[in-house]
């Protein structure tokens, strides 16, 4: 029994640290996309056929939106995981958040097992896993329920890699188990396609054993078949192999690769000022940040050349860069951002291998062991406290998040949402100022015009409200936003005593959203004999 406990001490310590750091998240609520993608998603609240899950574009929950809206994301396994949560916990944020923490713990334990599989000693493997487990950038993927795709794709990808490594001993059954987990990873998030070049990288670095080209090619076939099938299925659902949403010009994206890589490395090794980044490509392509990033990129290449005789380091750093490839936007993606914390979760799992190897090397130097362990302890304490604070403030509830992002970090992405919250609190002047900022930053976002028009109606400015609704009319809207547009236009007409106009628009709102009680009530008011 003593030996069994001793063998599982690292696992218990990892579990304890994950629970301590993530504990504040459990008292959090549904925030932002949690509401539309989970609370109001019929694929979560009731079980559908397998084909319907496979035919759903992630983020499109209303059938009326499928014909004209695209997110560019295809992750059918997500909604099924939410459905299981709903059946266990009901619609309680606690249960969904607890599942995310549990998945993060599984991911950490699998990374520990991968490090052992790669011949890292247990102490260094433990420290490497702790590096990943409590890293502050992980908090977004763990505490934001809808970021679960990062947890699932990393779990299934690590499992796929472990079984792939074991299958190299001519154990072909394990190869097909690896392919099965690869399939699950693909259905969790698109970045799983990067596992095929990572397998190739493993074969050419760590796993080089002269087993023959034909066997190596055969080992890729199940993955290539699954990837081809996945891409065809994805293209049928979202209407494109990649993303149907436009992005920056290719040459600009290519030129700024060092900047994107340097920005993400900075988040990994110097995590401070973390929040929900809304950082796009810089306007000045020859600024000092670009020059510094090119210097860093050059130093990284030189370092990898110097370390080329250490296969584990080369594999880890290169796998990290491969896993980051979707973030580089060389292939158009549905997001124009160049960095977010959640995007680092998957690549960081591979960089952990290099961290564990370096820690193993440093700890092995007896004269410097105490200093090394002390430095590691200080860094881990800082990261653990920082991650705890982020889980307790930034990711806990929507209002806390909005205050931090908009008022502290000046994040324009969420100004309209904070404006809506202030509007509900009848703080009209503050709300209006933020709506103006949001419209200046995102002039093609119909929802902001619609919500701003509601404030103008409430403050007795129906004519101004109509002007903004007219601007929004030709913009792309979801089906519910279209209903809101008709409702607000109807109320605008009502305030201007244009009864026929009010009745026509409110009728349209009720027609397209028949279950909405607010729209029905407004129509009943217009239909009263007084009007």
- Do the beta carbons of residue 323 and residue 285 sit within 8 Å? no
pLDDT tier for residue 1 given thresholds of 50, 70 and 90: very low
Write down the pLDDT at residue 5: 47
What mean pLDDT comes out for the span 509-517?
88
Cβ atoms within 10 A of the Cβ of 530, count? Answer: 6
Whether 530 shows a pLDDT value over 70: the answer reads no
Q: How many Å apart are CA 73 and CA 324, to the nearest integer?
A: 17
Instruction: Select from 260, 206, 279, 240 the least CA-distant residue to 74.
Output: 240
What mean pLDDT comes out for the span 354-378?
88
Cβ atoms within 10 A of the Cβ of 458, count? Answer: 14
CA atoms within 13 A on the CB side of 184: 18
Q: How many Å apart are CA 151 and CA 184, to the nearest integer?
A: 12
The residues facing 339 across adjacent strands are: 279
pTM greater than 0.85 (yes/no): yes
Q: How many Å apart are CA 319 and CA 355, to the nearest integer?
A: 13
| 96 to 88, 339, 357: CA distances (angstroms) | 9, 25, 35
280 or 483, which is more confident? 483
Provide the token pair at 38.
């989970």
Provide the token pair at 530.
């007084």
Q: Which helix (H) or strand (E) holds 281?
A: none
All domains of the chain, ordered by start, with CATH?
2-60+69-392 (no CATH), 411-527 (1.25.40.10)
Instruction: Select from 325, 324, 333 the least CA-distant residue to 246.
Output: 333
What mean pLDDT comes out for the span 298-321?
93
pLDDT tens readout for residues 448-477: 999 999 999 999 999 999 999 999 999 988
Q: How many Å apart are CA 308 and CA 315, to the nearest integer?
A: 10
What mean pLDDT comes out for the span 345-372?
90
């Amino acid at each position: 029994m003593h030996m069994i406990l001793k063998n599982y001490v690292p696992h218990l310590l990892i579990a304890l640290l994950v629970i301590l750091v993530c504990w504040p998240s459990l008292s959090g609520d549904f925030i932002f996309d949690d509401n539309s993608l989970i609370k109001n998603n019929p694929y979560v609240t009731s079980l559908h056929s397998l084909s319907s899950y496979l035919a759903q574009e992630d983020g499109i929950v209303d059938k009326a939106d499928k014909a004209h809206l695209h997110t560019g994301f295809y992750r059918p396994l997500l909604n099924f995981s939410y459905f299981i949560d709903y059946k266990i916990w009901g619609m309680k944020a606690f249960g969904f958040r607890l599942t995310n923490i549990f998945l993060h713990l599984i991911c950490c334990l699998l990374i520990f097992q991968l490090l052992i599989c790669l011949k890292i000693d247990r102490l260094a493997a433990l420290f490497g896993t702790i590096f990943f487990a409590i890293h502050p950038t992980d908090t977004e993927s763990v505490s934001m329920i809808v970021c679960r795709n990062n947890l699932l794709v990393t779990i299934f990808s690590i499992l796929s890699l472990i079984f792939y490594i074991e299958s190299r001993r001519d154990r072909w059954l394990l190869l097909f188990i690896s392919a099965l987990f690869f399939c699950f990873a693909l259905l969790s998030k698109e970045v799983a396609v990067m596992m095929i070049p990572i397998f190739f990288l493993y074969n050419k670095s760590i796993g080089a054993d002269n087993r023959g080209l034909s066997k190596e090619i055969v080992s890729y076939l199940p993955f290539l078949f699954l990837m081809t099938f996945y891409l065809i299925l994805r293209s049928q659902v979202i209407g494109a192999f990649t993303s149907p949403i436009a992005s920056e010009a290719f040459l600009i994206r290519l030129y700024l690769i060092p900047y994107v890589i340097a920005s993400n490395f900075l988040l990994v090794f110097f995590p401070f000022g973390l929040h929900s980044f809304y950082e796009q490509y810089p306007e000045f392509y020859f600024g000092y940040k670009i020059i510094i990033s090119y210097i860093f990129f050059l130093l990284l290449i030189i370092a990898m050349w110097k370390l080329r005789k250490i296969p584990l380091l080369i594999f880890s750093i290169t796998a990290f860069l491969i896993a980051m490839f979707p973030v580089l936007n060389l292939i158009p993606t549905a997001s124009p951002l160049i960095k977010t914390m959640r995007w680092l979760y998957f690549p960081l799992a591979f960089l952990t291998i290099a961290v564990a190897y370096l820690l193993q090397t440093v700890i092995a130097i007896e004269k410097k062991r105490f200093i090394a362990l002390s430095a590691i302890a200080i860094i881990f304490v800082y990261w653990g406290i920082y991650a705890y604070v982020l889980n307790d403030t930034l990711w806990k509830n929507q209002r806390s998040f909005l205050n931090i992002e908009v008022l502290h970090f000046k994040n324009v992405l969420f100004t309209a949402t904070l404006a809506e919250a202030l509007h509900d609190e009848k703080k009209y002047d503050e709300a209006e100022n933020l709506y103006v900022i949001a419209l200046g930053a995102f002039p093609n976002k119909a929802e902001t015009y619609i919500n701003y028009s509601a404030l103008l109606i409430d403050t007795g400015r129906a004519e101004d409200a109509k002007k903004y609704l007219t601007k929004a009319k030709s913009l792309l809207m979801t089906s519910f936003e279209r209903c809101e547009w008709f409702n607000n236009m109807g109320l605008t007409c009502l305030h201007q005593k244009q009864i026929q106009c009010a009745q026509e628009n409110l009728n349209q709102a009720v027609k397209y959203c028949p279950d909405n009680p607010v729209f029905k009530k407004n129509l009943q008011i217009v239909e009263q004999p007084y009007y």
